[in-house]
Amino acid sequence: MSKILIVDDEKDIVDIVSYNLEKEGFSIAKAYDGESALQVIKTQKPDLIILDLMLPKMNGLDVCKVLRRNPETSSLPIIMLTAKGEEIDKIIGLEVGADDYVTKPFSVKELTARVRSILRRLQETEKSFVKEEFAYEGLNINYISCLVSVNGKEVTLTPTEMKLLFFLSRHPGRVYFRNQIIDHVWGDETFITDRAVDVHIRRLRSQIEKDIENPHYILTVRGFGYKFTDIK
C-alpha cells in the first residue's frame, strides 16, 4: 500500500483529499505547514507528496528544495498545488523539482488520477529496464538500479527527469516531438504542457550536461523537439 503525504494549511482540503485517496486504497499522512511536513517525511517515509505552494513557516518551494538536496528524498515524487493558476507559479514549481502540478480549485478525481499515474510510472521504470546499462562519452546509466553518473560522479535525478533520460537514451538519434515525449513519459492521465516539457529538459540538462547552453547529450531539434545525440 502506497503512503501519500498531503501538505496543506487548509484542513478542509486535507480532509477531502485524504478521504478520497483512502477510498482508493492509499495510506495517508497529513501535515499543515512546511516544517511539519519535513518531520513527517523523515519519520513516515511516504511514497509521494501532495504539497501546497503557499504554506506557513516554510513554503512549498522551500520544502521542495530541501527534499531535492537530500539524497534520501531527492527522488521522492511531488505534486505541487498552486492556488494562483498562473504559468509562472507552475514553471517555478517544476524548476525546483516538482514532478507535476495541480491548480486550485481542482478535481479530486483528477488529482487521484495523477497520483496513480506517477506511482505507476515509477513501477514501470523499475520493471522496464531490468537487463540493460547504457554508457556514452562519460554518461553511464544503470537501468536496474536507476543510478546515473557523469564522468564517474553520481547525479541525482527526480523520477520524471530519470524517466525522460531513460526514454531518450534508449532511442539515440531519434527526434521526438514534445507531445510524443508527453505520451511516453507522462502518459494519458496527466495534463502537461509543452512548456513543462522544456522545463524538465532544462532541469535534466543541469544535472548531466557540462554546459546546458551547449548540451552534449540531450539536443534540441528546432521546430520539432528533442533527441539524445546520435551515437556513431
- What is the pLDDT at residue 131? 52
**pLDDT score of 199:** 92
| Residues 135, 120 share a domain | no
Residue 81 and residue 104 share a domain = yes
Closest CA to 93 of 101, 102, 85, 84: 101
DSSP H helices, 45-83, are: 60-69
Q: Which runs of consecutive H residues, i.e. helices, occur in the chain?
A: 11-23, 34-44, 60-69, 87-95, 108-128, 159-169, 178-181, 194-208
CATH code, domain with 135: 1.10.10.10
- Which of 97, 124, 151 is at the close of a domain? 124
The pair phi, psi for residue 173, each rounded to 5°, is 85, -15
Question: What domain range is 24 assigned to?
Answer: 3-124
Query: Are residues 187 and 219 located together in one domain of the fold?
Result: yes
CB atoms within 10 A of CB 26: 20
User: Final residue of a domain: which of 124, 146, 180?
Assistant: 124
- Statement to judge: residues 56 and 112 lie in one domain: yes
18 and 114 share one domain: yes
Q: Are residues 86 and 169 in the same domain?
A: no
Tens-level pLDDT at each residue, the chain (232 residues): 789 999 999 999 999 999 999 999 999 999 999 999 999 999 999 999 999 988 998 999 899 989 988 878 888 899 998 876 566 666 777 777 788 888 888 899 989 988 988 888 777 665 554 457 889 999 999 988 889 999 999 999 988 899 899 999 988 888 888 888 888 888 765 677 888 899 999 999 999 999 999 999 999 998 889 999 988 6
* CA–CA separation, 3 and 228 (whole Å): 35
- Report the alpha-carbon distance of residue 186 to residue 165 in Å, rounded: 13
Phi-psi region of 117 (alpha: psi -120 to 50; beta: other; left: phi over 0): alpha
Q: Which residues pair with 141 in a beta bridge?
A: 134, 148
Pair (170, 98) in one structural domain? no
In terms of C-beta density within 10 A (0-12 exposed, 13-18 middle, 19 or more buried), how is residue 201 classed?
A: buried
Domain count, the chain: 2
* Residue that is last in its domain, among 124, 141, 164: 124
Per-residue model confidence (pLDDT) at position 52 = 93
